[in-house]
Amino acid sequence: MLIVAEPGYGPTPDGKRGSMLRAYDKRTGRELAALQLPAPQSGSPMTYMLNDRQYLVIAVSANDYPGELLAYALPQARPAPAAGAE
């Protein structure tokens, strides 16, 4: 998975002006998920693990939005079904 945050404003899915955080499948380029950020990305993203859960931290800020760090928990992988289970 490739995760990208937009460093500027553009159209959002609802047609309003905003910035998005998007996740893409690295093999196919297909967008897997997207969410609107309160302001554009303003710093380098960081990822860390805590208790077997991965987190992504993004710095955002704008002229009309004070800087802050946003932390998101990435989805956990679903365990494969047991053989013969449906």
- Which pTM was predicted? 0.73
β-strand partners of 72: 56
CA–chain centroid gap for 57, Å, is 9
State the burial class of residue 6 (Cβ atoms within 10 Å of its Cβ: 0-12, 13-18, 19+).
middle
> Token match 């998007």: residue?
22
Over the stretch 46-66, which tens digit does the pLDDT of each residue have? 999 999 899 999 999 999 889
- The helix/strand/coil state of 23 is strand
Band (86; pLDDT cuts 50, 70, 90): low
Q: Which sign, positive or negative, has the C-alpha torsion 50, 55, 56, 59?
A: negative
